[in-house]
Amino acid sequence: MRGAAQSSVRARREAIRRLIRTRIVSTQEELRELLAEEGFDVTQATLSRDLARLGARRVALPTGGTAYEIDGLEPADPHEALRAVATSVLLIDETDALVIVHTPPGAAPSVGLALDQSRLPGVAGTIAGDDTVFIAPKKGVSPEFVARQLREIWMKG
């Protein structure tokens, strides 16, 4: 493979990485449609080969269903997944023990997944409902610290 073809494959695989990193992608057909929106016309066979080459696998989601993930995938910007869901964050609040993120109905699972994917320092785990995400800080980390980090990422601008 040479020149433009190799560059096209690299660009397509980078698009696949970015899409899997920032969205819940449940099927190859869904991924193929997202790639088409970005100008990549791929067959199912090519997409299967790309996913295998990237080490993608389907994993169960806590909310039910499955989605693709890629192990060892570290985004250039560790907060990219969080920024991708910023428009879904309505309010960040904290209690003595938890951080609570309010979203429009149906958006909490995506926000929770982005939080999990970001591996934000100080976050032990999340629970996402329909319009609320509960974030448990790690031992010794205050909810105020976690909330402040999230406000810096989501409420900039």
pLDDT of amino acid 155: 86
- The domain ranges of the chain are 3-70, 81-154
Cα separation, 135 vs 143, in Å, equals 8
Sheet holding 99-102, edge to edge: 91-94, 99-102, 132-137, 123-128
pLDDT of amino acid 61: 66
Q: What is the CATH number of domain 3-70?
A: 1.10.10.10
Ramachandran assignment for 55, one of left (phi > 0), alpha (psi -120 to 50 degrees), beta (any other):
left
Architecture of domain 81-154: 2-Layer Sandwich (3.30)
**Mean pLDDT of residues grouped by 10 in the chain (157 residues)?**
66 90 87 94 93 86 75 58 89 96 94 86 91 95 95 82
| Token reading at 157 | 């601008």
pLDDT of amino acid 93: 97
Q: What is the pTM of this model?
A: 0.54
